[in-house]
Amino acid sequence: MVQSRRRQGGYFRVFLFLAPGLLLILLFFLAPAIITAVMGFTNMDYRFQWNFIGLGNYVRMLHDFLIPKIAVNTLIFTFGTLVIFSIFFALALALTTTSIGERSGLFFQALWLLPRYTPPVVYAVIWLWILSPTKGGLLNGLRDLMGLPPIPWILRYPLGVIIVTNGVIGTSMGMLIFSSAIKAIPRDYLWAARVDGASWFQEVRYIILPLIRWPLMFITAYQTLSYLTSYEYILLITGGGPFHASEVWSLYAYNLAFSSYGGTFEFGYGAALATVLIVVGALASLVYWRIFRLQKMMAPPKIEVL
Amino acid sequence: MPRRFTPGSLAKERRKRTALKVGMYLFLFLVTLPLAIGYLWLVVGAFSKTLMYGFVPQGFTLQNWDFLWNPRLPGLDVDIWHMFLNTLYLALGVTITVVAVSTPMAYAISRMHFPGRTAILASTLILHAFPPITLLLALYYILHALGLLDNLLGVILVRAGLWVPFAVWVMKGFFDDIPWDIEMSALVDGATRLRTFWKIMLPLVRPGIGAIAVFAFIGGWTEFIFQITFVHNPKSWTLCSYIYAIIGSYRLTNYGLLAAASLFYMAPVLLFFIFTQRFLVRVTVGGMKGGS
């Protein structure tokens, strides 16, 4: 009796602790996910009216002549950035920064972390200067120094530009995760290999890589999802242009609704496009859940058991 | 195959290892150089009249900094300090909301037993991996319905809401690390749960609160996509909106102004970064622990 009264009071107390956080998550995370899915079945525009048109937007998606191009761009961008930067370059940085002195290793890591904390507009300003089509930019300034004519980098290599600019930010995630995994490898393994005459490359190939298999898979899964859906930096640096050459799926959804030059406010169709990404994202999250056995972190707290 | 050691082979091995280290430094130096040049340009460009070949400074000047009293955007009658205060308001708003909301939530998840605990924990973890940017259209609709468009409070709430899963996850880790005997002894001595939380636990997780506060502050200060999508009235512009507008209107010919304004906007983050470097490296990994 006493026990159950205490329990009830306990639940109210728990509710007090949880309520503000749950409210925010509900209002700005779960509700928007549901609203996006429902909005995808309407032809909502700037008047915000819920006119349901069934699968109209999805039929339109099948006939949209831009979609094949955008789907290809999205795949090239996502996997290009993932493989070149998040895996290979991040691994190269992690292996080198953990093999040199600790202080200088941390110094280089911190420098590569800087883009992640730079305001996106400032990061874009730096790149717009580097890639400027005029001689005032870094790359064309260097070409000028060598007597070469300037190249309009963004117009000529739109996909390359968005891969590099996003990759430089994405690298730090893999670098940090791989470094901490490498540091966690017992030193005796490496010493034993060295005594047996292994070269550094053999150490990496036969000891380090097999032991950081899980972090590698984690980064692959996590970064695939984030590249698939991120468009902030693309919006800032190329805007998706020229002529949709660097437009990816998520940016297309954004541009349909908010594009400064189109300004069409196509919320319904944009939401349908976003829904596709949300479904992919939700599926990917479920896969993480299975693969990475996250349940083990959900153990009940000790103090209430007593 | 085990090998035989001779003084000669050891010396050779040592030379190989040294050469390898030199190679590593060279590699790191070469790949990091362009990055460093980019940030260095912000500083050099902000104080130079022109840059020859795009990067060789010519003549020291403070003229690029006149945006501090003259916004230099046609039709803009809001001064830069107003935008600076807006940015500060946004950053502090996000910080306070995130800390106030996620600390008690993390405590409850870490220390209390209640039905649905696992579900809540699981959903914060899944949301943590879920990219919020895909929800932008619906968020626009919600803010419109709540009458919070063109209002910094709307951006604060959205940004804070999207940070809560991450912050709860980090804070839960800090609460988990505190031995429960400490809390038990307070409870045995007759303190209520709320009092224990306030008097005993909060002081112990101060480093955690510091960590999520730093992240939330930087996140709010550098906020871009929600700010430029939800806020159009220049009265509510932040420094981010201002630089975004310069990029749009000058078509990037005035690099001096852009560099100076960017440096001004970035300065607080840069300071934070210099002083908390090691800590940032550690906590960025810590925050990711949720999945690895």
Per-residue pLDDT of A60-98, as tens digits, reads: 888 888 899 999 999 999 999 999 999 999 999 999 998
Chain B residues close to A278, C-beta within 8 Å: 134-135
Cβ within 8 Å of A, B 159-198: 160-162, 164-165, 168, 180, 183-184, 193-194, 197
**Hey, of A86, A117, A231, A269, which one would you mutate to test binding to chain B, going by the most B CBs within 10 A of its CB?**
A117
Q: How far apart are CA A245 and CA A73, in angstroms?
A: 8
B262: Cβ contacts below 8 Å, ≥ 6 apart: A119, A121, A122, A125, A126, B42, B46, B243
The pLDDT, as a whole number, for residue A225 is 83
B111 touches chain A (CB under 8 A): yes
The pLDDT, as a whole number, for residue A28 is 86
| B96 shares a domain with B129 | yes
Q: What is the arithmetic mean of pLDDT over B262-279? A: 82
Q: Do B142 and A28 touch (CB under 8 A)?
A: yes
B141 touches chain A (CB under 8 A): yes
Confidence band (pLDDT; 50, 70, 90) for B47?
confident
Q: Could you tell me the CA-to-CA distances from B106 to A21, A184, B168, B174, B205 in Å, in that order?
A: 9, 28, 5, 9, 11
Q: What is the arithmetic mean of pLDDT over B219-224? A: 92
The pLDDT, as a whole number, for residue B35 is 92
Q: Do B54 and A112 touch (CB under 8 A)?
A: no
Is a pLDDT exceeding 50 seen at residue B290? no
Q: Which residue has the higher pLDDT, A115 or A259?
A: A115
Confidence band (pLDDT; 50, 70, 90) for A9?
low
Residue B2 counted as domain residue: no
Greatest mean pLDDT among A49-58, A62-71, A297-306, B271-280:
A62-71
The pLDDT, as a whole number, for residue B225 is 92
Q: Residues A192-241: pLDDT tens digits?
A: 888 888 888 888 888 888 888 888 888 888 888 889 888 999 999 988 87
Residue B100 counted as domain residue: yes
Domain extent for B230: 69-288
Instruction: List the single residue in B102, B197, B269 with the smallest CB-CB distance to A118.
Output: B269
Q: Do A197 and B3 touch (CB under 8 A)?
A: yes
- Residue whose C-alpha is closest to residue B168's, from B235, B101, B224: B101
Q: Do B138 and A305 touch (CB under 8 A)?
A: no
- Residue whose C-alpha is closest to residue A107's, from B74, B36, B47, B217: B36
| B171 shares a domain with B119 | yes
| B125 shares a domain with B247 | yes
Q: What is the arithmetic mean of pLDDT over B159-183? A: 86
Of B21, B43, B61, at which residue does a domain stop?
A: B61
| B201 shares a domain with B174 | yes
Chain A residues close to B248, C-beta within 8 Å: 260
| B83 shares a domain with B20 | no
B67 touches chain A (CB under 8 A): no
Structure tokens at B144: 């419109």
Q: Do A117 and B273 touch (CB under 8 A)?
A: yes
| B91 shares a domain with B52 | no
Residue B281 C-alpha, separation from nearest chain A C-alpha, in angstroms: 7
Q: Do B117 and A300 touch (CB under 8 A)?
A: yes
Residue A203 C-alpha, separation from nearest chain B C-alpha, in angstroms: 13
Is a pLDDT exceeding 80 seen at residue A40? yes
What global pTM score does this model have?
0.87
> What do you get for the CA distance between the two ends of chain A, in Å?
18
Q: Quote the longest CA-to-CA distance of chain A.
A: 90
Q: Residue B193: which CATH number? A: 1.10.3720.10
| B174 shares a domain with B216 | yes
Q: Residues B59-117: pLDDT tens digits?
A: 787 778 877 887 777 667 788 889 999 999 999 999 999 999 999 999 988 888 888 88
| B41 shares a domain with B121 | no
Per DSSP, the residues of A140-201 read HHHHHHTTPPP--HHHH-HHHHHHHHHHHHHHHHHHHHHHHHHHTS-HHHHHHHHHTT--HH
Chain A residues close to B170, C-beta within 8 Å: none
Instruction: List the single residue in B108, B144, B258 with the smallest CB-CB distance to A125.
Output: B258
Chain B residues close to A99, C-beta within 8 Å: 20-21, 24
Q: Do A20 and B121 touch (CB under 8 A)?
A: no
What are chain A's domains?
Answer: 70-294 (1.10.3720.10)
Residue A35 C-alpha, separation from nearest chain B C-alpha, in angstroms: 6
Q: Return the residue of A nearest to B165 by Cα.
A: A25
Q: Do A93 and B265 touch (CB under 8 A)?
A: no
Residue with tokens 């996909």: A159
Residue B1 counted as domain residue: no
Q: How far apart are CA A36 and CA A274, in angstroms?
A: 7
Question: Of A59-63, B34-38, B122-126, where does mean pLDDT reach its minimum?
Answer: B122-126
B156 touches chain A (CB under 8 A): no
Is a pLDDT exceeding 60 seen at residue A5? no
Cβ-Cβ pairs closer than 8 A, A with B, add up to 324
A224: Cβ contacts below 8 Å, ≥ 6 apart: A78, A79, A82, A284
Q: How far apart are CA A304 and CA A283, in angstroms?
A: 34
Our count of domains for chain B comes to 2
| B52 shares a domain with B106 | no
Residue B66 C-alpha, separation from nearest chain A C-alpha, in angstroms: 19
Q: What is the mean pLDDT of chain A?
A: 84
| B199 shares a domain with B174 | yes
| B27 shares a domain with B121 | no
B144 touches chain A (CB under 8 A): yes
| B105 shares a domain with B231 | yes
